[in-house]
Structure 1
Amino acid sequence: MARLCEQVSPLLDDAGREAAAAVRAGLAEPLRLAVVGRVKAGKSTLVNALVGRRIAPTAAGECTRVVTWYRYGAPERAELHLRDGTRQELPLVDGRLPESLGVPDADVARIVVHLQAGALREHTVIDTPGLATLTAANEAATREAVLGAGDPAAGSSDAGQADAVLFVFREAERQDEVEFLRQFRAATGELAASAVNAVGVLSQADLFDGAGMDPFDAAEGQAARLAAARVADVSAVVAVSGLLAETARTGRIREQDARVLAAAADVPEQRLRLRHRMPLPDGVDQAALERLYPVLGNYGVHRGRERAGAGAHRLVGWLESVSGMARVEELLRRSLLSRAHALKAMRALTVLTRSAQRAGAEAALALIEEARLDPALHPVRELRALRLLVAEAPASPLRAALEQVSADTTDTARLGLPHEATPDEIAGAARQRAAAAQSQSAFALMPAEVEAGRVLARSYQLIARRARP
């Protein structure tokens, strides 16, 4: 893709060359993951949990007013990237972004925060103001960052700044959320759908009304229903409590907090809920306990008391486990990070193709079509075929094989073989599976299955060639 950018750029107009240069620069960066959802869905709390810092503002009201990028870098700092092209330092306050930026929000293109956080080595996190914001400008900033500033139908080459999306649902999906996901599907162009480059989380799982069930169990059921309903939009949906994950990962629980919780272990839960009406028993520091509710929520306080007796370490471990954050990170690794190069290549192809079409550069379009046939870009065909299959035939037996081939990083893993398999074993297994995929393609009734079988057969043929040229 880097070579293609260099070959195509001289054939484009000024705007196209600028777009190609931006794409070329982005290829060397980690995957850009935009966190999107309605206002107060818990996006910024989730971002804090992802990076392991209480850096994003999470107070009541609309906190994230400007698109904010969290990147790996040293020294740790924050910068304002203004729309006039200049940059200003933004001092952090006690390690957090300040409430006031010192300039009008409308003048800020984005905030870029550099942190030495291990998670940011693999992906840059883009926190957005979200949907259904209090001002049209804030929602417009979200749409520009993720969907792009122009209209693809009108020839715009801007495909947005994000390679993938982590979509945060609060409860059931709403119409504006469904519409945004559809627009993201259209904006991705080459991908033509977001089921491959978008995953979902159902936030604030600890607050779900389970009608007698554990809130997390109720949230898991709703997440499964959302995943089934939005199968063409997101590859999966998992339930998570960003608050519990943020608390566990940012050092907010100390030994004295664990002692306060442990002292209330024998107090009936109903009595705790009535603590504002009647004093708690002697030995319970009610003021200290009250300070833990914003940090842990009702679920964390009431369910964490029995773990607190073993100390802060045990309590934090339970918070991390129950929060569901590990499942979110596994979903990101399996669905997005393992396909980062292919996703970035897809976005690059979209931008270059639109730029060439707008400029009427037939020679550039010919180079792009030639690149699509290169075996090095076969992962792009895999993801495109997977997208079609998920949208049109999600129950197809080809789906699992195509997901495995497109997500795993070694040929033995793609084939499900032991790591120590010999080249002959790899080549033999790949050829067998190529023949089986061709057969399935020949007898398939749906176009998506026909294409998936062809692409899968080609994937296995390439694996066999790599093992035994």
Structure 2
Amino acid sequence: MSAAPRASTAGAVPGTLNLGNSVRALLRRSLEVYGDSPQAAGWLRMHLARFDEPLRVAIAGKVKAGKSTLLNALVGEAVAPTDAGECTRVVTWYQDGNSPKVILHPKDSPPRPLSIHRRDGALSFDLGGLPPDRIDRLVVDWPTQSLRGTTLIDTPGIDSLSAETSARSHQFLAPEDAPTAADAVIYLMRHLHSGDVRFLESFHDQGVARATAVNTIAVLSRADEIGVGRLDALMSAKRIASRYRSDDKLRDLCQTVVAVAGLLAQTGRTMQQVEFAALTELSTLPREGMDALLLSADRFVTSDTTAALNTEQRGSLLERFGLFGVRLGVTLIRQGVNDPAKLSAELVRRSGLDDLREVLNIQFTERRDLLKARSALLALDLVLHREPRTASAPLAVELERIMAGAHEFAELRLLTALRSGAVKVPDDARVEAEQLLGGEGGAPAARLGLDPSASADPSQSRQAAMEALSRWRRRAENPLSTRALADTARVVVRSCEGILATLPR
């Protein structure tokens, strides 16, 4: 994987730099012990190198959940095939590169490059007749700022009609005999189904310092379809996402739930002038005629209309925007959005993509070193269990010390326990504790519930942190506090002290 510049430490999670350094040192010591084991040494070197690479985020979900469409929306270009071809049945990595290229990695032969083609504006590549079950992965290099700090990994659909296709996703995301290659996961679902819960449970690590949903975000995808294409469809989807966020079971399995209309987001980021012109032409129709045209996909494509758009043009517009996107685009143009760039930005904003990108930045980017440290420790734990040696005993002790003693993991364990209800404290204390523990983001402003711009005023942040520290010290020392509240308070107190340590005086 190509390396990327180290992320700025501004706004980093308090303490993660020390944790990262401790884990790196432990990996180097482990390499001295396992240098003669090709498999173990390979895993350890890979995780050591991953500290200097972009964060690896996998996109998972059932078939037709909109994984490739969302990936294209996040990248801002149509780089991932969205049809039901063989490429969608293979784990595919998308990373920043100096020039566009695709490398095929077979399971039983050396990697080889594939030729790249454009079809209807989208990227496509031929697997050269090699069956998907003989392919380990595809790696797509694409020069773009969107992939500079994050490598996105598109996975085959779960619960596919093909058992082999589903197995490839499970094996990649939750392997039984190797460390997982992903640091974090975006899980797409059209609605909360028992199959979604089962998968999230299978990806949910168990054990000391591991039981945490910190590396998973759920996305209510294809959100525009929830309201049957009505203009208020996204509002309905956001209400459902909010309800899911308060679901006790789901809170235990993922950080949050975000509603996104993936098709609208992708089209908004890649809209062409000819498409803007077509929407403008439709906006000239009488309102009654336009409403009748949008009653169904078939009617929109085939009905007679005075608009200067033939059946093929309307079919192409429907494929790119969907009924919801067409209706929204026409409505916005009628309301005075008469510039392609402004319409594109408004479609993206209304799609929910900006909300998702903000969540990804708060939950994943700010925690990149913590997530990588966690991945590395899980890999080392697997090595120690698979290849126990006399010389590895001190490594196991140090691993246990980091997992049990690192405050970052104590925060994650408590955050998960509070969200799942395993630790019960009064609601007002629980809400504040979750925030101070990093449930809304790891940066000091997010933990303190301040506007991000408040970081420019360190005195305001310091005062808020001192007040929080004082409140939670009183809770920790109050003899009337329950055992659960007192234990929670002691962890939160240390988090407050960590926040204060990062703030300039």
Answer yes or no: is the 8 Å Cα contact 2:93–2:151 preserved in 1. yes
Deviation at 1:126, TM superposition (A): 0.8
Structure 2 residue ranges without an equivalent (≥5): 1-22
Q: How does 1:2-13 map to 2 (within 5 A)?
A: 2-12=24-34
Deviation at 1:248, TM superposition (A): 1.1
Residues 211, 439 of structure 1: CA spacing in aligned structure 2 closer, same or farther, 3 A cutoff? same
**SS of equivalent to 2:253:** coil
Answer yes or no: is the 8 Å Cα contact 1:245–1:319 preserved in 2. yes
1:48-94: per-residue Cα shift (whole Å, max 9, x none)? 10111111111257761100111112122111122236211122111
**SS of equivalent to 1:419:** helix
Q: For 2:332, which of 304, 307, 312 is the aligned residue?
A: 307
1:225 aligns with 2:243: yes
Q: How does 1:260-279 map to 2 (within 5 A)?
A: 260-264=281-285, 266=287, 267-273=289-295, 274-275=299-300, 278-279=303-304
Answer yes or no: is the 8 Å Cα contact 1:148–1:187 preserved in 2. no
1:142 aligns with 2:142: no
1:200-224: per-residue Cα shift (whole Å, max 9, x none)? 1111111124697822222222222
Residues 145, 399 of structure 1: CA spacing in aligned structure 2 closer, same or farther, 3 A cutoff? farther
TM-score where L is the length of structure 2: 0.81
1:433 aligns with 2:433: no
Q: For 1:181, which of 192, 200, 221 is the aligned residue?
A: 200
Answer yes or no: is the 8 Å Cα contact 1:44–1:56 preserved in 2. yes
Residues 434, 318 of structure 1: CA spacing in aligned structure 2 closer, same or farther, 3 A cutoff? closer
- Bigger Cα displacement from structure 2, 71-80 vs 265-274: 265-274
1:429-465: per-residue Cα shift (whole Å, max 9, x none)? 6455334324334555364x55432222112233445
Residues 450, 164 of structure 1: CA spacing in aligned structure 2 closer, same or farther, 3 A cutoff? farther
Answer yes or no: is the 8 Å Cα contact 2:208–2:403 preserved in 1. no
Answer yes or no: is the 8 Å Cα contact 2:301–2:314 preserved in 1. no
Equivalent-residue separation in structure 1 for 2:435 and 2:124 (angstroms): 39
Equivalent-residue separation in structure 2 for 1:211 and 1:46 (angstroms): 18
Q: How many residues align?
A: 456
**SS of equivalent to 1:74:** coil
Q: For 1:31, which of 42, 47, 55 is the aligned residue?
A: 55
Alignment RMSD (CA, Å): 3.0
Q: How does 1:120-199 map to 2 (within 5 A)?
A: 120-150=147-177, 158-171=178-191, 173-186=192-205, 190-194=209-213, 196-199=214-217
Q: Percent identity?
A: 29
Answer yes or no: is the 8 Å Cα contact 1:34–1:166 preserved in 2. yes
1:357 aligns with 2:385: yes
**SS of equivalent to 2:198:** helix
Equivalent-residue separation in structure 1 for 2:371 and 2:435 (angstroms): 14
Deviation at 1:37, TM superposition (A): 0.6
Equivalent-residue separation in structure 2 for 1:213 and 1:256 (angstroms): 21
Amino acid at match of 1:440: R
Equivalent-residue separation in structure 1 for 2:351 and 2:502 (angstroms): 42
Q: For 1:55, which of 71, 79, 95 is the aligned residue?
A: 79
Which residue matches 2:408?
379
Deviation at 1:174, TM superposition (A): 2.0
Answer yes or no: is the 8 Å Cα contact 1:343–1:380 preserved in 2. no
Answer yes or no: is the 8 Å Cα contact 1:4–1:371 preserved in 2. no
1:297 aligns with 2:322: yes
**SS of equivalent to 2:255:** coil
Residues 257, 211 of structure 1: CA spacing in aligned structure 2 closer, same or farther, 3 A cutoff? closer
TM-score where L is the length of structure 1: 0.87
**SS of equivalent to 2:455:** coil
Answer yes or no: is the 8 Å Cα contact 1:260–1:289 preserved in 2. no
Residues 111, 460 of structure 1: CA spacing in aligned structure 2 closer, same or farther, 3 A cutoff? same
Answer yes or no: is the 8 Å Cα contact 1:261–1:289 preserved in 2. no
Residues 205, 468 of structure 1: CA spacing in aligned structure 2 closer, same or farther, 3 A cutoff? closer
Q: How does 1:183-262 map to 2 (within 5 A)?
A: 183-186=202-205, 190-194=209-213, 196-209=214-227, 214-229=232-247, 230-254=250-274, 255-262=276-283
Equivalent-residue separation in structure 2 for 1:106 and 1:320 (angstroms): 36
Structure 1 residue ranges without an equivalent (≥5): 151-157
Residues 431, 184 of structure 1: CA spacing in aligned structure 2 closer, same or farther, 3 A cutoff? same
**SS of equivalent to 2:469:** helix
**SS of equivalent to 2:368:** helix
Which residue matches 1:452?
488
Q: How does 1:334-345 map to 2 (within 5 A)?
A: 334-345=362-373
Deviation at 1:45, TM superposition (A): 0.4
Residues 65, 101 of structure 1: CA spacing in aligned structure 2 closer, same or farther, 3 A cutoff? farther
Equivalent-residue separation in structure 2 for 1:206 and 1:170 (angstroms): 10
Answer yes or no: is the 8 Å Cα contact 2:415–2:437 preserved in 1. no
Equivalent-residue separation in structure 1 for 2:476 and 2:267 (angstroms): 50
Which residue matches 1:109?
136
Q: For 1:83, which of 107, 111, 114 is the aligned residue?
A: 107
Equivalent-residue separation in structure 1 for 2:466 and 2:330 (angstroms): 57
Equivalent-residue separation in structure 1 for 2:488 and 2:233 (angstroms): 39
Equivalent-residue separation in structure 2 for 1:227 and 1:62 (angstroms): 35
Answer yes or no: is the 8 Å Cα contact 1:46–1:243 preserved in 2. yes
- Bigger Cα displacement from structure 2, 33-42 vs 305-314: 305-314
Q: How does 1:318-329 map to 2 (within 5 A)?
A: 318-329=346-357
Answer yes or no: is the 8 Å Cα contact 1:349–1:368 preserved in 2. yes
1:397 aligns with 2:429: yes
1:238-281: per-residue Cα shift (whole Å, max 9, x none)? 11111111111123453432333333363241244345664113
Answer yes or no: is the 8 Å Cα contact 2:57–2:185 preserved in 1. yes
Equivalent-residue separation in structure 2 for 1:207 and 1:466 (angstroms): 45
**SS of equivalent to 1:338:** helix
